[in-house]
Chain A
């Protein structure tokens, strides 16, 4: 289930802290210093105060599953592959983001389960998304 494809994405400067962070094994979110809050999905401006966003923050890389779905009919590069877990993960100290999840013990996959970022090797082509592993110690 960890064998997820890379995806060809058109990325702009505001997208790079997050996707570059994943390549280093970190969860990085854009941050509005004025509001002292994350900006998610990443944007060039904070949607509360509309200040330009200059900074980012590296989070602990842990959180819990807000919801998940085992997807049997993927599309695009996810088509014709084994089922994979699409999820929303509520990050500790950060936003709820879309992600993939892997559970070494399938029975542990549940809403509310604790998860930790599982670094992925760089894909042959495209970019890797955020992959979390169920980890009761996270």
Chain B
């Protein structure tokens, strides 16, 4: 028996563009907020809580830009790709506490013109930069170790991209809408071995938003009720030089979220797992408990991730690997697609029948060290 939702998702909006060349970031923000308010049936004056991560000018500049007044609850946390999945929890808890009743969570980014909203290098940086460490390289190190310990292959990782591209082929806005074969994935040039080009997410402009509301507001809007029943987050560190690259914080956040919800992985109808890289999905699936540790490579074979036929339909918009990846913070778009599935508003070919329980997981920054994890469980209420 799952518990009552902490809060409800009243509105969602995903910006349709993937390359935005001649506009300000401010105008993209405003367009997204207009979109999410329209979807929810709310107006800007209803908003009393506001979440957004790193931005030019920071939180006050964004609140000013959007014309927000009377805000009682703020959150500007940056958890990298785990950002905004975490907002499902912090905003829901603020709503539970009565600190806010309508929380706007919004993000946008234009990385294709070199505008990256990211933290300055941290104290660890000299020990990585001295050796030419790259983001892809750090995830590649995790992939290589997993291959060594468990016999995972590049073809196993490629299965994740094949499923992503199949789903993206139904998404008219997807940045990479073309289906790919396993061999096409394997033939791509290496970026940081064993990760090749199609193991990596796209870099796209755009953004998205959702609005979280209390039960009273949710019931007044006459929309399908999508509730947040669980959310947990954590971080993993270099652990004083005792590195472990094959386990992620999802071990903790998954167990905690399922316990909060009174559910198990078998209850999940649809999964939105942030796919910064193919290896990110594989590790997350294992650590959330969808298969045994080390069995992720076997789990993803034979179309397991395809919707609606697979055992675990995953990222039906195409994910970061094929659809979009605005502001390098995939948690937002993962959340939006999970809400679409629960509302029954995914593409008809990919809609999971009777979709009642969805899990959303975001992974931020790196793997092993400085690794953020956030897991949420959303349900459809009748």
Contact = CB atoms under 8 A, between A and B. Distances in A.
B190 A98 contact: no
B129 A9 contact: yes
Given A39-B240, A69-B140, A86 B131 contact: yes
Contacts of B189: 72
Residue of A15, A29, A71, A112 with most chain B CB atoms under a 10 A cut-off: A71
A9 B141 contact: no
A2 to B, nearest CB: 13
Given A69-B141, A72-B192, A112 B148 contact: yes
Contacts of B72: none
Contacts, number: 117
Contact of B141 (A11, A41, A87, A95): A87
A14 B195 CA distance: 34
A41 to B, nearest CB: 5
Interface string B119-147: 00001101111111110110011101100
Contacts of B195: 69
Given A69-B141, A86-B141, A95 B242 contact: yes
Contacts of A111: 144-145, 148
Interface residues of B, number: 32
Interface string B73-110: 00000000000000000000000000000000000000
A24 interface: no
A97 interface: yes
B132 A4 contact: yes
Contacts of A76: 129, 132
B225 to A, nearest CB: 45
Interface string A23-66: 00000010000000111111100011000000000000000001
Contact of A74 (B124, B126, B127, B134): B134
Nearest to B128: A98
Contact of B144 (A69, A96, A97): A69
A78 B141 contact: no
15 contacts: A19-B130, A29-B241, A37-B240, A41-B241, A48-B240, A67-B148, A69-B194, A71-B137, A72-B192, A73-B134, A75-B132, A86-B140, A86-B192, A96-B243, A111-B145
Given A18-B127, A74-B132, 9 more contacts: A40-B241, A67-B145, A68-B141, A71-B192, A75-B132, A84-B132, A86-B134, A86-B140, A98-B133
